[in-house]
A and B are shown apart, each in its own frame.
Chain A
Amino acid sequence: MSVLSAFAVLIDGLVYAAYLFIVAIGLTLIFGVMKILNVAHGSFFTFGAYGAASAVGIYFNRGLPDAGGYLLMVLFAMALGLVLGLILERGIMRWVYGRDEVVMVLVTYAAFLILEDVVILVWGPGSYATYQPLLAAGNIEIGELVVSNYDLGLIAAAAVLAAIYYWALKFTRYGRLLTAVIFDRETAAAFGINVRVVYTVTFVIGAMLGALGGAIMAPKIAVTLGIGVEVIVLAFAVVAIGGMGSIEGALAGALIVGICRAATVHLVPQVELFVIYAVMALVLMIRPYGLFVRAQPRKI
């Protein structure tokens, strides 16, 4: 493998890992706090992508400055995630807290199916193109390799998100409350933490992160029905590799999957189709609960 190819694998792997991390972080946050495997996370991604496509389309068609378009894309999608998260949590999820985890999965799956139809009602069956932010960002040449500035921005966005998350969890009051709930919900409640409020806030933040993932990816893909399904499968794989509920795990899982996939496309493209799942199977064979699974307290 030449130096250029190795560099290409690194860049491609980081870009793909950034995408996976942004999508998976919300999923793993909700699972870590609420122990809900949220299938509707794919819908948050879809709504974020469609919302961004609509906002960007209107903004760029008016010939306004490019920078505002990026901001609008992100803010609009996150606002959509906030509203959707609140509706889902207040309207459905709070009625099933405490039920069996399988029931929770089925409830979120039902919500996912309903929201897929809501997308058709709102945006119709056609696909949307949101290429303006991608093309407006330009590119840089590194040797023979041309790298999109938008992709580099994606890596930076994922890094900033990881840093904010780490800081918020370790150094803010809410982060400490969250850590207490993650560690033991009942004990946290006994110490006076309003677990219901923590749940609501966590679910909404998770929804906003899912929508943010959709908004950031919208300029690179054709925004169309079914994108949420693809994403949720990939996000589950990343979260399973890293360990359910672990943010460090999501980061590690995204990096492993991203680099492995990029290396496969460059070196052995024939096996690209299943490399992600092969990596997942391999990790789970060695560590059945993922790489960064949190130690579980034994209750007597």
Chain B
Amino acid sequence: MLFGGSARGRACCWLVLFVSWLGVVPTQAQNAPSGGTVKLGIVSFLTGPAAAPFGIPGRNGAEIMIEAMNAGKVPAPFNKPGFGGSTIEAKYIDETGSTANVVTEFRNLVQRDQVDAVVGYVSSGSCLAVTPVAEELRALTVLYDCGTPRIFEEKPRSYVFRVSPHATMDNVAAARYLLAKKSDVTSYSGINQNYAWGQDSWRDFTAAMQVLAPNVAVDKVLFPKLFAGEYGAEISTLLTSKSQVLHTSFYDGDLEAFIYQGQARALDKRMTIIATTGEAAIWRLRDKMPSGTIVGARGPHGPLAPDSEFNRWFQKIYSDRYSIPPTYPAYQMAMSLLGLKLAYEKAKTEKDKTGEAKPTTDEVAAAFKGIEFEGPSGSVKLAIGDGHQGISETAYGTYRFNKEKNEPEIVDIVRFPAECVNPPAGVKADDWIKGGMKGAKC
């Protein structure tokens, strides 16, 4: 018999139950999906060779942007606090480790930590590994830095988005810039890391050169392994070649080590280097980055970003906090978070009409498709990959170290419209370039 015994005993039992209920109610209220918080997993290289030039600026970009979002200090139309009034809680995860480890950490974020979305990944290898898992788990995932075009070309995706344009844009624009500035070039070589990123970059660059300047010959093709560190033999090979130009998509410590070793052997005096990710290294290399190097920023970021109020605001909050200007990974992270915020708030507006608290992952994904917005890097539109892949204008310039100001600068900047350097919707990047880049509007 429930609560049998004396009246006093029964009263005690009811009192205990009542007190317990008082204790439980607030707990239940806290655990209920009130829509008060949005949990994000932020994944970037926090240790290892890619941390300093890429992972940490990306992480810092997330930290400062999330703080500004929560405080409602991001310029309009992003000035609503958090994500549609919900506070953003971020959990930062290190991308360093094997691909299996990256996937395990992704699963942990989604299944154990129950994040609402994951924003991350620098390495194309990580992105290729995480994408099918994100689809399997139906986890909203925004890839922020990796560049391989294969993500949305291999299969249509439902839950994976990438606001940052893919690497095809970087290499087509590099070829266009090179030919605009050095029309007398007769041969070129390439040194790229031997994995998805390096191979895709070289494929797109050579294909674009073949279309734009079929008489220019490819000389040396070098694919050292990732994080090789020592490039003596590669530099000798280049020095004994007849190339006037060297294409590289090297990044992180590899780019810095290669530049130092190349400088020690006067490689930059023999040939012009095109560094498609060079902008990320200019603040670390400073006067050691050879003057005359053609640099890209994987989009209109950093010194290549358009001069706007939004950009000045972002540069200021970042520089004030970290005492160094933001490089392109910070911009890419900021743009990715702005895209996600916009999609979330668009989905939430629909929810608000029905009085429900929080949009579902499917609703946010549906709202994300094809969005267009202005951020610190200018305008971006998720126009390809069935509305999951962003395109934007891009820019290239020539590096020099300004001794008077004692700081790096990029001069002779040329901007390329999005439709000039990106494939149209429904066409694979490789096919588009090999087909003569039909429909390009330059």
Interface residues of A (CB under 8 A from B): 2, 4-5, 8-9, 11-13, 15-16, 19, 120, 125-127, 129, 131, 134-135, 137, 139, 144-148, 150-151, 217, 219-222, 224-227, 230, 261-262, 265-266, 269-270, 272-273
Contacts and interface: CB of A to CB of B under 8 A. Distances in A.
Contacts of A261: 233
Interface string B96-132: 1000000000000000000000000000000000000
Contact of A8 (B47, B51, B236): B236
A125 B240 contact: no
Q: B194, B222, B265: which has the most chain A beta carbons within 10 Å?
A: B265
Contacts of B47: 120, 125, 225
Contacts of A16: 230, 232-233
Contact of A266 (B46, B230, B236, B285): B236
B232 A134 contact: no
Among B46, B229, B236, B240, which residue has the most Cβ atoms of chain A within 10 A?
A: B236
A15 to B, nearest CB: 5
B423 interface: no
Give the residue among B56, B220, B230, B288 with the most A Cβ atoms within 10 A. Answer: B230
Contacts of B224: 265, 272
Contact of A221 (B51, B257, B284): B257
Contacts of A139: 264-266
B256 interface: yes
Contacts of B265: 139, 146-148
Contacts of A226: 48-49, 96, 227
B253 interface: yes
Given A11-B236, A222-B256, A269-B222, A135 B263 contact: yes
Contact of A220 (B48, B237, B257): B257
A70 B222 CA distance: 32
B223 A134 contact: no
Nearest to B266: A146
Given A127-B49, A144-B239, A230-B227, A137 B264 contact: yes
Interface string B209-235: 000000000001111110111101110
Interface of A is mostly: helix
A144 B194 contact: no
A126 B254 contact: no
A125 B46 contact: yes
A120 B49 CA distance: 13
Given A12-B232, A129-B284, A273-B223, 11 more contacts: A127-B53, A129-B256, A131-B260, A134-B260, A135-B288, A146-B239, A151-B232, A225-B51, A227-B229, A272-B224, A273-B225
Nearest to A145: B239
Interface string B78-102: 0000000000000000001000000
B237 A265 contact: yes
A265 B233 contact: yes
Contacts of A266: 233, 236-237, 240
Contact of B240 (A8, A126, A137, A230): A8
B69 to A, nearest CB: 25
Given A131-B288, A269-B222, A272-B223, A126 B51 contact: yes
A150 B264 contact: yes
A125 B236 CA distance: 32
A135 B252 CA distance: 20
B251 to A, nearest CB: 11
Contacts of B46: 125
Given A126-B51, A139-B266, A220 B260 contact: yes
9 contacts: A2-B240, A12-B236, A16-B230, A135-B260, A144-B240, A146-B265, A220-B257, A262-B236, A265-B237
Contacts of B49: 127, 222, 224-226
Contacts of A4: 240
Interface residues of B, number: 42
B366 interface: no
Contact of B229 (A125, A129, A230): A230
Contacts, number: 132
A221 B236 contact: no
Interface string B184-223: 0000000000100000000000000000000000001111
Contacts of A13: 233
Contacts of A131: 260, 263, 288
A19 B222 CA distance: 21
B261 interface: yes
Contacts of B254: 222
Nearest to A13: B233
Contacts of B228: 230
A5 to B, nearest CB: 6
B52 interface: yes
B304 to A, nearest CB: 24
Contact of B56 (A19, A125, A145, A221): A125
Nearest to B256: A222
A81 to B, nearest CB: 20
A230 B232 CA distance: 17
Contacts of B266: 139, 146
B253 A12 contact: no
Interface in B224-280: 224-225, 227-230, 232-234, 236-237, 239-240, 252-254, 256-257, 260-261, 263-267
Contacts of B240: 2, 4-5, 8, 144-145, 266
Given A131-B260, A148-B264, A269 B48 contact: no
Contact of A265 (B229, B234, B284): B234
B253 A127 contact: yes
Contacts of A224: 48-49, 51-52, 253
B232 A15 contact: yes
5 closest residue pairs by CB, A with B:
A222-B253, A265-B233, A12-B233, A125-B47, A8-B236
B223 A125 contact: no
A205 B256 CA distance: 32
Contacts of A125: 46-48, 51-52, 56
B303 to A, nearest CB: 21
